[in-house]
Chain A
């Protein structure tokens, strides 16, 4: 655990440029805020014409925002993770770490958590806008939490998929491409099941547990890979 934290700390310090994340945060939240403003503007304009405010129209924002957040995960996870391990391998960093008796699983978990934490920071920064707009748009808190849980567990799983793919291909571009394809398939599956999961009380727990277990399996399998062991 100590080694995971050390590597995580160093990777964050040096290899994740804070300004890059900051740019993502600004762009993402600006887009979300603009969409929100447009919807509020539409509601208020209709209210002026009809003499009555119809808050239910904000539900339109729901679809747009959810799809946007899935797309953000879909785009960012491969950027942070799909090239991670093969890049570290090519830069001899993995060999240098193994040589001082840091275990390969510690390296894999550190890189995974580094990417996942960055992704979660990006997602969580969007939550206030989503929560406020959904709450005032007539959504119950439970449904909002379900949605956030679904998004976070999707990020956990997709990050694990990306790291697994990064250990299968020596070429970072190939692993990024394969990750995007895998992400597209996962996103379609998730959007298809979105309503079932949000409306069922038990399904969301099954979904979150399934995603986390599958992620742990994928990350564990990543340490036993042909890339590192010839």
Chain B
């Protein structure tokens, strides 16, 4: 677990972070939300070891994060400046040679497998400077997978407008959920909202809210509502839902039932399972479900509610 205790950062007499205290549990999906200059990137720079001139404590499993060798952190940046002289293959091998997580003989095979997985094989011998930002992020994901870190920091990962690319990215990220600690710094909840387990909201270096996603939503009087449209027997459907202890705030009209899941579920995968079970129970009881969808919470909505 990563813990920040009263972390304060001042650069050139400007307070970047003010007495921040929160914990990032192991294998959680932690989203640090905030607008520009809110301090998200500074937190990342502290976690990676670039900034050491902060006050307070940053601990990993109770020990100073800069002192322990066992904690491998990696970061996927939003910005890039690459060397035009090196190819994608050389780039990956450069880091692999330092990480030493792979045997030389296995490395080539692994790089090829991952390049194929992300449809990047044709770029293997292309200068890394020539590939576009989206493919660069995929190359970075391969680099990170070679490193095999405990904690992965993603800086504005979903900044692209390309839906297919975001989908591909999300699919890969989902495969890491529950296995690694994933920390996102973002200005929006798009894509991350689905997998997030914890949220911290920052404003100019101050913590507005932090905690499990459900707790933060509760504080903001928001919830991940689910909307079900049924063709008939709506009262039966409502009765079935009321039997489930995980379900609250049931509201319905002629066709549509909306409700929230209130159980203390840590991981997105488990929450998906709960939702799948609800849907299965309705169908098993002969309810004709026409649609079943989650209402997404937007960052602006969350931020607005938290700030009152």
Task: List A residues at the B interface (Cβ < 8 Å).
Answer: 6-7, 9-10, 13-15, 17, 90-92, 94-102, 104, 228-230
Contact = CB atoms under 8 A, between A and B. Distances in A.
Contacts of A99: 47-49, 72-75, 149
Contact of B97 (A13, A17, A91): A13
Nearest to A104: B49
Given A14-B90, A91-B83, A102 B98 contact: yes
A91 B82 contact: yes
Contacts of B5: none
Contacts of A95: 45, 48-50, 75, 77
B93 A91 contact: no
Nearest to A7: B98
A99 B46 CA distance: 10
Interface size class of B (residues with CB under 8 A): 35 or more
22 contacts: A6-B97, A6-B98, A6-B100, A10-B98, A91-B83, A92-B75, A96-B75, A98-B49, A99-B47, A99-B72, A99-B73, A99-B149, A100-B72, A100-B73, A100-B74, A100-B99, A101-B69, A101-B71, A101-B72, A102-B98, A229-B53, A230-B51
Interface in B120-171: 147, 149
Given A14-B94, A100-B72, 4 more contacts: A10-B97, A13-B97, A95-B49, A230-B53
B52 A229 contact: yes
Nearest to A89: B50
Nearest to B87: A14
A230 to B, nearest CB: 4
Interface string B48-78: 1111110000000000001011011111010
A92 B77 contact: yes
Contacts of A15: 83, 85-86, 94
A91 B51 contact: no
B81 interface: yes
B100 to A, nearest CB: 7
Given A99-B75, A100-B98, A17 B45 contact: no
Contacts of B172: none
Please indicate which of the listed interface residues A17, A94, A99 has the most CB atoms of chain B within 10 Å of its own CB.
A99
A98 B75 CA distance: 11
Contacts of A96: 48, 74-75, 95
A101 B71 CA distance: 8
Nearest to B77: A92
A15 B87 CA distance: 11
B11 interface: yes
B80 interface: yes
B137 to A, nearest CB: 13
Contacts of B81: 90-92
B287 to A, nearest CB: 50
Given A99-B74, A101-B71, A94 B50 contact: yes
